[in-house]
């Protein structure tokens, strides 16, 4: 382990996982944390099953095409709850603000948060504000922590993938990552690109209506699709085979990726999900996804196999097979 924290420790990829495995789990070991799903699953004595999840948001710039830190912070935590099959109910919001931050910007951020929670039926019931001196933070950081209720009969975990399951994504990949990067780097030609940032409770509710037997759900945020699939392959001890030509990427995103040497598989998404669904339910779930505004471009991208447990393999457009690894370095710091 390094002596100093690196940007890549916050990438969501390999070094983030190292930090969790070498520092966090040894100190806070308990079966709930050790599941390493997007949300913790808490079973109360009263029988209720709660989903519980936290994220701090440090995105830069604070305002970007398609959203801002407030929209991101509310969508992100709602989506983490939803990825456990929970109905998101309550949220806390905690702000660390740099002295001198414009109140008008704070108002814009709060209004974005309000729109998302109103759309999702979530209530912000607890909050906190800290202010630090000029130069001790970069504008504003937002933490949101959410609580949801998991309906009976729903059992979703990254550990539940079974050989034969179909792997689906709910739309184009990399939009958030490229929107942030374009804004940051002042890439004018990319000005039409927007972040996909969106709350996914409605989409998932429809998928669960179509089939409560969905095995895994996860939103490919930091670290992108490649990291998300690797996490689930490791948790499930199965192999994930995906086909490059089926992975939906916008032409503009593909173009910028080629220009800058980026791989859309590793770019962050904030309004997309990966679903792993048993084959007999796949058509119904896919149809339900396509019927929802946030899932119109849903497609099957591959299948779960048993031959290389813990591995993600991609059949390239040329017909070759290559190993898809978890993100190692940090491509785009402060993407969320």
Which residue, 120 or 172, is less far from its own copies as judged by CB? Answer: 120
DSSP state of 310: T
Which residue, 112 or 239, is less far from its own copies as judged by CB? Answer: 112
Query: Can the peptide bond before residue 61 be classed as cis, meaning omega within 30 degrees of 0?
Result: yes
The span of 36-44, 155-163, 296-304, 311-319 binding its own copies (CB under 8 A) equals 36-44
Number of residues that bind its own copies (CB under 8 A): 84
Which residue, 279 or 333, is less far from its own copies as judged by CB? Answer: 333
DSSP 170-220: SS-SSHHHHHHHHHHHT-GGGTT--------HHHHHHHHHH-TT--EEE--
What's the distance, CA 224 to chain centroid?
Answer: 8
Residues 286-325 that bind its own copies (CB under 8 A): none
Residues 113-142 that bind its own copies (CB under 8 A): 113-114, 117, 123-133, 135-138, 141
Rounded Cα distance, 333 and 40, in Å:
25
Pair 160, 276: CB distance under 8 Å? yes
Q: Are strands 274-277 and 140-149 parallel, antiparallel or unpaired?
A: unpaired
Rounded Cα distance, 233 and 227, in Å:
10
Which residue, 43 or 307, is less far from its own copies as judged by CB? Answer: 43
Interacting residue with its own copies among 13, 14, 19, 326 (CB under 8 A): 19
Work out whether 333 is an interface residue with its own copies (CB under 8 A): yes
CA atoms within 13 A on the CB side of 4: 2
Which residue, 45 or 188, is less far from its own copies as judged by CB? Answer: 45
Work out whether 207 is an interface residue with its own copies (CB under 8 A): no
Work out whether 159 is an interface residue with its own copies (CB under 8 A): no
DSSP 31-57: HHHHT--SSEEEE-TTS-EEEEEEEEE
Which residue, 99 or 307, is less far from its own copies as judged by CB? Answer: 99
Residues 52-91 that bind its own copies (CB under 8 A): 52-58, 60, 89-90
The span of 101-109, 232-240, 262-270, 302-310 binding its own copies (CB under 8 A) equals 101-109
């Amino acid at each position: 382990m390094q002596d100093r924290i690196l940007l890549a420790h916050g990438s969501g990829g390999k070094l983030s996982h190292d930090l969790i495995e070498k520092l966090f789990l040894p100190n806070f070991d308990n079966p709930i944390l050790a599941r390493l799903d997007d949300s913790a699953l808490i079973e109360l004595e009263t029988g209720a099953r709660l989903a519980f999840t936290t994220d701090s948001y440090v995105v830069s710039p604070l305002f970007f095409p398609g959203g801002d830190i407030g929209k991101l912070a509310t969508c992100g935590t709602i989506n983490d709850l939803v990825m456990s099959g929970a109905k998101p109910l309550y949220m806390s919001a905690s702000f660390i603000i740099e002295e001198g931050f414009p109140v008008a910007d704070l108002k814009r951020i709060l209004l974005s948060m309000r729109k998302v929670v109103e759309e999702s039926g979530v209530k912000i019931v607890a909050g906190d504000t800290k202010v630090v001196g000029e130069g001790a933070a970069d504008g504003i950081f937002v933490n949101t922590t959410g609580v949801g209720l998991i309906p009976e009969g729903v059992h979703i975990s990254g550990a539940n993938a079974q050989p034969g399951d179909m792997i689906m994504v709910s739309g184009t990949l990399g939009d958030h990552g490229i929107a942030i990067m374009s804004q940051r780097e002042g890439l004018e030609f990319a000005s039409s690109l927007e972040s996909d940032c969106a709350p996914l409770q409605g989409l998932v509710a429809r998928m669960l209506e179509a089939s409560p037997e969905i095995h895994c759900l996860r939103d490919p945020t930091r670290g992108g699709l490649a990291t998300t699939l690797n996490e689930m392959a490791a948790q499930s001890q199965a192999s994930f085979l995906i086909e490059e030509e089926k992975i939906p990427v916008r032409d503009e995103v593909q173009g910028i990726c080629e220009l800058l040497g980026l791989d859309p598989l590793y770019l962050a998404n904030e309004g997309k999900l990966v679903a792993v669904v048993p084959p007999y339910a796949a058509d119904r779930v896919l149809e339900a996804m396509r019927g929802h505004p946030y899932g119109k471009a849903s497609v099957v991208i591959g299948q779960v196999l048993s031959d290389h447990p813990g591995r993600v393999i991609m059949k390239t457009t040329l017909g070759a097979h290559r190993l898809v690894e978890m993100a190692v370095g940090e491509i785009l710091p402060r993407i969320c």
